[in-house]
Amino acid sequence: MSGPRDQQAPEPPDRDPTPDQPSVSISDWPERDLQREEPLETLEEGWDPRLHGERRRPTFAEQAGPWLVAVILALAGLWIVLLTFALTNESQKGVGSGSPAPRSSPLASAGRTATPTPTATRPATPSPTARPSGTPRPTYGPLEMIYLSRATVVSPVELWRHDFSTRSAPTVIGTATQGIGSYAWAPDGRRGAALIASRLVSIEAGKGSRALADGISSATFGADAQTVYALRVVSQGSNDRADVLQISFASGAARSVGSITYPHPLIGAEEPVKEAQFADEGGAVRIYALTDGRLGLWILGPGAYLMDPATGTSSKVASPPRLFSPDQKRRVEVTPGGQGTVLVLRDQASKALASTVAQGLVSHVRWSPNGSEIVFTVGIGSGGGVRQDLYIWDLTANKAPMALTNNGATFGADWLGASQSWVP
């Protein structure tokens, strides 16, 4: 494992040095004249250069000296090998028995750098890190709602958001040139889907809209806010087939969970106020996410159906689902009469708890998250046209409904963060 270098490494020599000799340059050698002969130093007695030449014969001691040195070095090397083997065995014994690591061997004192013996270190305890938690449920104002409205009578319908308990201005969160026909909103209030000329598109804060499905007549969110259920009506001669689609909000992937075939309904024109009331309630084809996980369908003509999205099985029922309070203990009965509508608060046993009268035709009743209020649309005729505004009824104060808007072009409100309890 290489680390940072403090200095630049020297240039390699032109050739490898002779083994067992230091690599040096010419300047390291003492100056010598290689052409000049060196005189003999000392001549021992009994050595005749004329008889034995200029170099004398080595003595016995000189001949035996190198051999003796070699024997001593061999014995020393053997002792070092044996000592190293013994230390290695002791080290291996200590690993399994928990014995302390052996001290450095004499090799460390022979001019070599002893390798430090690794010691076991306790791993540092990692600092506790915050585990990812679920996104907290957002909070909303007491009268924070989404609803449909238009700036003028001839303007396209837009989707608005506003907390009517504050003085802040409402904001437009969805608009289209063709106008928004209807919308569905997730129970947690984070996202929605708008129906624009039979195309269902996503609505999410900070993100652009995406097409979720085409040819849609009605839509609703499931209980998990990740799934949208939609109705797609296909004409088959004198019959119509309503396909129920299960759509992933994240990816737009869709699959059919079942279908219902019925005679094509005959839709006749009614007076404008009733037409506006009919459209605000959901139109000719409606779909509801029920409290038991099934889907409720209401189709003009054949009537109401229940469908299990897990199996695709469906059955015809006598009446459409009814809307109860969040605790499923109370409901509001709406009865049109004359130019007004009677609203009666009833318990599970249908006992009347409170009542009021709205001057106009009531549609799109929705419960507040705490079950203490309801919001609804009131439509009235005006100069050949229709005026629609939002009203709120405080169920605890037993007062007359109070108007939230007065522009005559606002309808279809839902509380943000409120899950409506549709009971079969």
| pLDDT recorded at residue 67 | 59
Are both 312 and 361 inside the same structural domain?
A: no
Residue 379 domain-assigned (yes or no): yes
Are both 327 and 253 inside the same structural domain?
A: no
Residue 80 domain-assigned (yes or no): no
Buried b (16+ CB within 10 A) or exposed e, 77-104: eeeeeeeeeebeeeeeeeeeeeeeeeee
| pLDDT recorded at residue 36 | 36
Which CATH number belongs to the domain containing residue 287 in this structure? Answer: 2.130.10.10
Last residue of one domain, picked from the residues 266, 285, 320: 320
Are both 295 and 350 inside the same structural domain?
A: no
Two tokens, residue 313: 């099985």
Q: Report yes or no: 398 and 354 within 8 Å, Cβ to Cβ.
A: yes
| pLDDT recorded at residue 3 | 42
Are both 275 and 315 inside the same structural domain?
A: yes
| pLDDT recorded at residue 90 | 47
Last residue of one domain, picked from the residues 266, 300, 320: 320
| pLDDT recorded at residue 398 | 79
Which CATH number belongs to the domain containing residue 366 in this structure? Answer: 2.120.10.30
Residue 1 domain-assigned (yes or no): no
Find, among 323, 219, 307, the residue nearest to 257 by Cα. Answer: 307
Are both 305 and 337 inside the same structural domain?
A: no
Are both 293 and 398 inside the same structural domain?
A: no
Are both 423 and 331 inside the same structural domain?
A: yes
Domain that holds residue 413: 322-424
Find, among 23, 21, 20, the residue nearest to 11 by Cα. Answer: 23
Residue 35 domain-assigned (yes or no): no
| pLDDT recorded at residue 61 | 52
Query: Can you say whether residue 350 is alpha, beta or left, with left for phi > 0 and alpha for psi between -120 and 50 degrees?
Result: left
Please give the backbone phi and psi of residue 354, each rounded to the nearest 5 degrees, phi first.
Answer: -165, 160
Last residue of one domain, picked from the residues 277, 296, 320: 320
Are both 391 and 315 inside the same structural domain?
A: no
| pLDDT recorded at residue 268 | 84
Residue 195 domain-assigned (yes or no): yes
| pLDDT recorded at residue 352 | 97
Are both 334 and 232 inside the same structural domain?
A: no
| pLDDT recorded at residue 19 | 39
316-343 pLDDT, tens digit per residue, is 999 999 999 999 999 999 999 877 999 9
| pLDDT recorded at residue 265 | 87
Q: How far apart are CA 145 and CA 369, in angstroms?
A: 11
| pLDDT recorded at residue 100 | 38
Instruction: Give the residue ranges of the chain where pLDDT is below 70.
Output: 1-135
Task: Report the domain count for the chain.
Answer: 2
Residue 133 domain-assigned (yes or no): no
Q: What would the 3-class secondary structure string for the chain be?
A: CCCCCCCCCCCCCCCCCCCCCCCCCHHHCCCCCCCCCCCCCCCCCCCCHHHHCCCCCCCHHHHHHHHHHHHHHHHHHHHHHHHHHHHHHHHHHHHHHCCCCCCCCHHHHCCCCCCCCCCCCCCCCCCCCCCCCCCCCCCCCCCEEEEEECCCCCCCCEEEEEECCCCCCCEEEECCCCCCCEEEECCCCCEEEEEECCEEEEEECCECCCEEEECCCEEEECCCCCEEEEEEEEEECCEEEEEEEEEECCCCCEEEEEEEEEECCCCCCCCHHHHHHHHHHCCCEEEEEECCCCEEEEECCCEEEEECCCCCCEEEECCCCEEECCCCCEEEEEEEECCEEEEEEEECCCCEEEEEEECCEEEEEEECCCCCEEEEEEEEEECCEEEEEEEEEECCCCCCCEECCCCCEEEEEEECCCCCEEEC
| pLDDT recorded at residue 21 | 38
Residue 249: Cβ-neighbour burial (10 angstroms; 0-12, 13-18, 19+): buried
- Overall pTM surpassing 0.85 (yes/no): no
Q: How far apart are CA 130 and CA 119, in angstroms?
A: 33
